[in-house]
Amino acid sequence: MRIEDRVDRVLAKLKLNKFSPFPFARSGFWQTIYGSYWPILKPSKPNFFHHVVLPDGDILVVAENRPTQWKSGGRIMLLVHGLTGCYESVYMQRMCRRLYKKGYMVLRLNLRFCGPGKGLARRPYHCGGSDDTRYVLEWIKRQFPESPVTQIGFSLGASLTLKMAGEDGSRPSGNLDSAVAISAPLDLEIAAARFDAKENRFIRWFFINHLRRDLRHMESLNPEMPKLEFPPDMTIRRFDELHTAPMHGFKDAVDYYRKCSAIHFVPEIKIPTLLLSSVDDPIADPLVLRGVHTSSNVDILLTEHGGHVGFLGFGTSYDEVRWSDQAVARWLEDTMAI
């Protein structure tokens, strides 16, 4: 079945209209920018911050929002952020508020050295670190053995979610029974090339500055770490070549991209999964899905507009200006019957 036909089928199943962007944000670039700074209604402060100690001694911090009506055995939503993000990223807060109001416990994972976890890890996160999310799912199972889990990833977190689900196949980690991936960079080499394109220099500048700041902070806390030089013309690919690949045992950036791109693992996903992305995403290219076999349990929603984790358009209320949030909520209700 063509991707377009699969998209139409999911739209019909969820009774969703096709995404219609705001007139002032029709391009993928502006959807991405406005999407990052559009005002939101924030969730309540977390009830707890859990420290999850990984096998190598690094610590991940998980923010918990537990509704008063939630009972043992109730569904848990695990949210995973993207590059340079944390539990306070706009999309993480937005989704947390929506799901919390529905009565679900929401756990927002801070990847290594992110958010309140800064200083608690000696190694940074990367697109191949699916063992970390897998370990968190096993930790959740120990804490809440009867609770099913849905993992929702954004951008890099979406790539991690798909990679892990594909690696696990028919034996998902912990109590995971469903997954959602929003704006996943399925092919890391294509994503790096898009990051480094001339028209995306502002987006690249934003992320490179954050990566530089985080790395310098990590180096200051770990003097034995080799100090990485940042040339004025630093690109995402060069960063991966100089830092990500050698830090995590890959030969070079190409080896890292080849081994960690989620597109190679999508065909093996066996749990119900929603893959939502935009064709005009300035970073991720969802059209690499063409020619890749995916089973019927993977629902695909591609929009013409929407940018990278943007999807700002007309809705029924202030809470409904994010088409992607409506789509995820309906998918959870319809497909998972939760």
Asked if 125 and 236 sit in the same domain, the reply is no
Range of the domain at 99: 3-187+261-335
**What stretches in the chain show pLDDT beneath 50?**
316, 338
What distance in Å separates the CA atoms of residue 228 and residue 239, rounded to the nearest whole number?
9
Number of independent structural domains in the chain: 2
Q: Which of 260, 278, 299 is the last residue of a domain?
A: 260
**How far is CA 227 from each of CA 7, 123, 215, 237, 247, rounded to the nearest angstrom?**
46, 14, 9, 18, 12
Asked if 249 and 293 sit in the same domain, the reply is no
Asked if 11 and 140 sit in the same domain, the reply is yes
Q: Which of 209, 230, 260 is the last residue of a domain?
A: 260
Q: Which of 237, 260, 283 is the last residue of a domain?
A: 260
Q: Where do we find the tokens 């029709």?
A: 26
Model pTM score = 0.95
Residue 76: its pLDDT value, please?
98
Q: Give the side-chain half-sphere CA count within 13 A for 119.
A: 1
SS3 helix, strand, coil % of the chain, rounded to 5? 45, 15, 40
Asked if 298 and 166 sit in the same domain, the reply is yes
DSSP label at residue 322: B
- Note the pLDDT tens digit of each residue in 184-202: 999 999 999 999 999 999 9
- Note the pLDDT tens digit of each residue in 225-263: 888 888 888 999 999 999 999 999 999 999 999 999 999
Q: Return the beta strands (E) in the chain as ranges.
A: 48-53, 59-65, 76-80, 105-110, 149-154, 176-182, 273-278, 298-303
What distance in Å separates the CA atoms of residue 89 and residue 112, rounded to the nearest whole number?
15
Asked if 33 and 127 sit in the same domain, the reply is yes
